[in-house]
Amino acid sequence: MARTATRFSCTACGEALPKWEGRCPACEAWGTVQEERAVLSSPRARGMAPPAAVVELADVSADEAERIPTGIGELDRVLGGGIVPGSLVLLGGEPGVGKSTLLTMALAAIAESRPALLVTGEESAAQVRLRAERIGGAGRIRVVAETDLDAVAATIAAERPAVCVVDSVQTLWTADLASAPGSVAQVREAAGGLLRVAKEHGVAVILVGHVTKDGAVAGPKVLEHLVDCVLLFEGERGGELRILRAAKNRFGATSELGVFAMTGRGLEPVEDPSALLGRDELGATGSVVACTLEGSRPLLLEVQALVSPSELPQPRRLANGIDRNRLAMLLAVLSRHAGLGLGSADVFVNVVGGVRVDDPAVDLAVALAVASAARGEPTGPLVAIGELGLTGRTRPVGQVERRLQEAARLGIGQAIAPPGAPAVPGIVVRSAGSVGEALALALGPAA
């Protein structure tokens, strides 16, 4: 008969150890020894499993299952059209960003037509009821307060809900492992157990996950590999906007973005985020409008920069919303190819609204905002679109026409873009082949 046992192994070299150690004695790597559950069986029982059924790929039905709408348009957009039955979704975010609020709102809408279950391990049923009433009513959501993994799996199998939310996966534990809830082994075992239940019974399971201080999903990396979809919920603690993006999605695109506004009655979807993010004091000194493309949606963002003399031997370079290394590269390009010396100045760059941007099309806007702040001259209301190379040349980006149309829709009448940008009614497009030409068009020739 098979029995289970706890063992420890190194994730770097695979060395098996009798107990946990901070450093692997075989490869001398730190922090790689993890606890895991092993199934031990007698030699007679090994090799007795029946062979699995094998089919030709051409005979497999590829019909897409009917998705379950969540009742929240922005959430459905990021998921790719709704929740796929039998899928496993992981939602991560900072404490207090609104993960539980968002999922409670979605469950309330789903429960109107389908059975919905909420497994809460961090709150009592009474606390969940108070939050549900604050955001518009408890609806017909079924709630169970439980942290034992076996009990949760049995409850899901018995209830057979269309959608089940587990808040959170770090609170689940199994007696087969000696480690505490939230440890690497417990989180991995909980995710694996819920995956089996979801696939066996066709229940869509949404896991709420904690994040580390760096913003990554807490737990082993295998947690993100197990699930079908990884969603990240972001936003500044004191800010109004919340951003939902997909880091992984087996049933849709990973480039879509959902925008919400936190109000007294919960999260309100923002259908037109460009009008909200890009309209504040356009054209002021150190402020330039950029346009990024998130999936099928162009977004106008205000990029602000501040340049001030530094009193430190090593001037500060701080960025909020863009990569700090990217900012350092753009400052080097400005210094080398535009004659803008910032070696003795502190430089601060911020993307208004708490949105993080990875699109290289915002390079030109960041460069113009820094130059405007350094020279103390406003650029006027304009949108800057383009990527900057290390040679100082501007490079074209994808779907420039859609970006320009979005700027024209919101009343921005001027744009600076790389050569070859198409003409768009309602906006004057000026071409700049280099960062120096862009600065001359936006700020005029340097003194």
- Going through 213-325 in order, the beta strands assigned E by DSSP cover 229-234, 241-249, 257-263, 266-269, 287-294, 297-309, 317-320
Task: Please report, rounded to a whole number, the percentage of residues in the chain having pLDDT higher than 90.
Answer: 52
- Among candidate residues 170, 146, 171, the one with its CA nearest the CA of residue 159: 146
Concatenated DSSP letters of 389-418: -TTSBEE--TTHHHHHHHHHHTT--EEEE-
What is the distance between the alpha carbons of residues 187 and 198, in angstroms, rounded to a whole number?
16
**12-16, 65-69, 407-411: least confident range:** 12-16
Q: How would you class 55 by CB atoms within 10 Å of its CB: exposed for 0-12, middle for 13-18, buried for 19 or more?
A: exposed
Q: Is the model's pLDDT at 446 over the cut of 80? A: no
Of 61-70, 85-94, 121-130, 423-432, the range with the lowest mean pLDDT is 61-70
- CA–CA separation, 405 vs 291, rounded Å? 10
Confidence of residue 37 (pLDDT cuts 50, 70, 90): low
Q: How far apart are CA 363 and CA 325, in angstroms?
A: 12
Structure tokens at 376: 């103390």
Ramachandran angles phi, psi of 111, nearest 5° = -65, -15
pLDDT at position 84 is 93
Per-residue pLDDT band at 206 (split at 50, 70, 90) = very high
Using CA atoms, how far apart are residues 361 and 417, in angstroms rounded to an integer? 10
pLDDT of residue 78: 92
Band (pLDDT 50/70/90 cuts) for residue 151 is very high
**Rounded (10°) CA dihedral 75, 81, 86, 88:** -40
Q: What are 75-130's pLDDT values in tens digits?
A: 999 999 999 999 999 999 988 889 999 999 999 999 999 999 999 998 998 999 98
What is the pLDDT at residue 185? 81
For residue 345, which of 319, 373, 321, 323 has the smallest C-alpha distance? 373
pLDDT number for residue 277: 59
Which pLDDT score is estimated for 280?
53
Predicted pLDDT of residue 434: 94
Q: How confident is the model at residue 1 (pLDDT cuts 50, 70, 90)?
A: very low
Which candidate, 344, 313, 333, 351, places its Cα nearest to that of 439? Answer: 333
Q: How confident is the model at residue 281 (pLDDT cuts 50, 70, 90)?
A: low
| Tokens of residue 84, six digits | 């796929």
Element (H, E) at 184: helix 184-201
pLDDT of the residue at 304: 93
The winner for highest mean pLDDT among 59-63, 212-216, 307-311 is: 307-311
Say whether 56 sits in a helix, a strand or coil. coil
Q: What is the pLDDT of residue 50?
A: 80
Pairwise CA distance, residues 264 & 301, whole Å: 25
Over residues 206-231, the mean pLDDT reads: 86
Q: What is the chain's mean pLDDT, rounded?
A: 87
Helix (H, G, I), strand (E, B) or coil at 241: strand
Asked if the model's pLDDT at residue 204 lies above 90, the reply is yes
The values of phi and psi at residue 383, to 5°, are: -115, 135
Residue 336, pLDDT score? 93
**What's the CATH code, domain 275-443?**
3.30.230.10
Task: Tell me which residue has tokens 């309209």.
Answer: 279
Does 330 or 265 have the greater pLDDT score? 330
Cα dihedral 428→433→436→438 (10° resolution): 20
- Say what the pLDDT of residue 92 is: 93
Rounded average pLDDT over 373-391: 93
pLDDT at 79 (0 to 100): 93
- Bridge partners for 89 per DSSP: 206, 229
Res 158: pLDDT: 94
Domain 67-271 architecture: 3-Layer(aba) Sandwich (3.40)
Predicted confidence band of residue 231 (pLDDT cuts 50, 70, 90):
very high
40 or 176: whose pLDDT is higher? 176
Distance CA 34, CA 18 (A): 11
Closest CA to 230 of 358, 93, 356: 93
- The encoded tokens of residue 413 equal 């009448």
Which residue intervals of 44-146 are DSSP H helices?
Answer: 73-79, 99-110, 125-134
**Of residues 120, 195, 205, 191, the one with CA closest to residue 162:** 205
Q: Measure CA of the first residue to CA of the last residue in the chain; give whole Å.
A: 85
Least confident of 113-117, 255-259, 411-415: 255-259
- Please give the full DSSP string across 295-342, using - where no structure is assigned: TTEEEEEEEEEEEEE--SSS--EEEESS-HHHHHHHHHHHHHHS----
pLDDT at res. 58:
85
In the prediction, which pLDDT does 265 show? 80
Over the stretch 176-200, which tens digit does the pLDDT of each residue have?
877 788 887 888 889 999 999 999 9
